[in-house]
Amino acid sequence: MGKTKLTFIADTHHYSKTLGISGSAYERRSATDQKCLAETGAIIDAALKIISQSDTDALMIVGDVSDDGERASHEEMLEKLYKFKQKKPVYVTLATHDWCCDQNARRYSGDEVFHDVETVKHTELRQMYYDFGPGEAKAEFITHLGTSSYKIEFPNDVVLLSLIDDQDGEGASGFTPDHLEWIINQIKQEREKGKLVIGMEHHLLYQHISPLLSGHGLCCGKHEEYIEKFCEAGMRLVFVGHSHMQRIDSYTSENGNVLYEINVGSLVGYPAPMVNLSITDDKIEIKTEHIKEFKYNETLYNENFLKNHATNIITRTLSLAKRGQKEEYIKTLAELGVKRETAEKLRPVLNAVGEFVTRTSVASFGEFINLCSFNNPFEKSDLKQLKDKKIIDIVNDCFLSLLDGALTKRPEGSAYYNVLTSFSKIPERLVRALKIKSEKAVFLSAEFENLIWEILSGGKIDNNYLLIDRN
Ligand SMILES: [Fe+2]
Ligand SMILES: [Fe+2]
């Protein structure tokens, strides 16, 4: 019985230390990013070491290889990949952050941000990464940007289509009509030969979790059309990145085929996933492992560092909204894309929210809501079990759960599960009690309940383990 094992990582966003790793401007950027900056090289090295020593046959990188298309970041990343390639093959799908499509590559010195960083053009990428895909391709499509989609064959009748979906020619991510036709033809051709077809592209085809979170910004512009066509043609799995959230969902096409979309989280932020795909003659198994520690500047860091780095976006922003740190607060929100005027208006609101969530315990909040009589949504015994938790702890837990695909199990019936699901129903109860007729309010309240359930449970499919029949 043959076995093919492939390992997928995504959004390595390698950041060259030459772009600056100290000073207030750098610290601010780092503190507003879920993923790391200075530490990316160390995390990538830790992952490459684990993968090179494992029994996997090849490594795949699902886009956003560099932080923001900086030439220095690409050059360092290529050095790492060439070193890794001495042990195992690597196949790369490039994406918008690899040619800095938003023209916002930055370097940092003291309190200043500089925009004079040399970036790589999209027309250069195919040649730069020729040895990590196109050079071994059995078929290739060159896009209007000069970038490459290509096909790789593996033993055990497995075929990989690496698809670059940066622009559809109509202002969104996706494929031009001729590119789409090439992809469909490749899938059909390989299926007719009895091959297992696996896709790899950066943007999402399936709207995971909730439209409140993974809306059109994360998906390809025409994602519904693409997923139906890919699935109908016979693609079985597609690996995507971009959202930085770990997720598995399935899609059934009109002709009854099933396609699994595996959204691989960012390697350089919590939960630092490496997704292993094992294919035998009759089974497909997907299993996520995580970087548990990495060495940076002679210090060993574990996953708590990555967790704190991620939740720092919430806790630091809320604490800055307090009086006395106005300029740092404005600069921090600017880093998050919020204009000064809006940041100033938001400040009293964020200050109040910050005070409330950091000071209020889950138990006292629940008791207050019960007193307000929404039919006593919270069980006293559940509240008692969470008496040591502040609301901010739950907010941070939920954020981490979103990123890791609900690794920490909160079983149905547990106090944690009961309190959060009861909380999620409050907006809908309010809409009903106040007889609000607005379609938007009805939709948002229902979607909020669904979102909390998705965060708590991880959805219908385990996001970190899947075992299915090959056919
Ligand atoms: Fe990314
Ligand atoms: Fe991305």
At 216 the pLDDT is 63
Three-state DSSP class for residue 423:
helix
CB 53 within 8 A of CB 15: no
At 466 the pLDDT is 98
Pairing of strands 237-240, 196-201: parallel
What is the number of other CB atoms lying within 10 angstroms of the CB of residue 314?
16
Question: Which residue type does 81 have?
Answer: L
Domains of the chain: 4-297 (3.60.21.10), 361-461 (no CATH)
Question: What does DSSP assign to residue 410?
Answer: -
The span from the CA of 54 to the CA of 278, in Å, is: 13
Per-residue pLDDT of the chain (471 residues; tens, 9 = 90+): 689 999 999 999 999 999 999 999 999 999 999 999 999 999 999 999 999 999 999 999 999 999 999 999 999 999 999 999 999 999 999 999 999 788 889 999 999 999 999 999 999 999 999 999 999 999 999 999 999 999 999 999 999 999 999 999 999 999 999 999 999 999 999 999 999 999 999 999 998 888 887 666 799 999 999 999 999 999 999 999 999 999 999 999 999 999 999 999 999 999 999 999 999 999 999 999 999 999 999 999 999 999 999 999 999 999 998 877 888 999 999 988 899 999 999 999 999 999 999 999 999 999 988 888 667 789 999 999 998 999 999 999 999 999 999 999 899 999 999 999 999 998 888 888 888 888 889 999 999 999 999 999 999 999 999 999 998
Q: Which ligand is nearest to the CA of 266?
A: 1
At 374 the pLDDT is 62
The span from the CA of 245 to the CA of 402, in Å, is: 6
Three-state DSSP class for residue 186:
helix
At 214 the pLDDT is 67
At 31 the pLDDT is 94
CA of 267 from ligand 2 middle (Å) equals 13
Q: Which ligand is nearest to the CA of 201?
A: 2
CA of 188 from ligand 1 middle (Å) equals 30
- Which residue carries 């940076």 as its tokens? 296
CA of 35 from ligand 2 middle (Å) equals 12
CA of 221 from ligand 2 middle (Å) equals 14
The span from the CA of 257 to the CA of 197, in Å, is: 13
CA of 198 from ligand 1 middle (Å) equals 21
Q: On the CB side of 219, how many CA atoms lie within 13 Å of its CA?
A: 20
What's the start-to-end Cα distance of the chain, in Å?
A: 16
At 67 the pLDDT is 96
Cis peptide bond N-terminal to 271, omega within 30: yes
CA of 367 from ligand 1 middle (Å) equals 41
CA of 469 from ligand 1 middle (Å) equals 31
CA of 466 from ligand 1 middle (Å) equals 24
**Which of 241, 248, 294 is closest to 9 using CA atoms?**
241
CA of 298 from ligand 2 middle (Å) equals 30
Q: What is the pTM of this model?
A: 0.96
Q: Which ligand is nearest to the CA of 220?
A: 2
What angle (nearest 5°) sits at the alpha carbon of residue 73, between those of residues 100 and 333?
A: 55
- Which residue carries 């996001």 as its tokens? 463
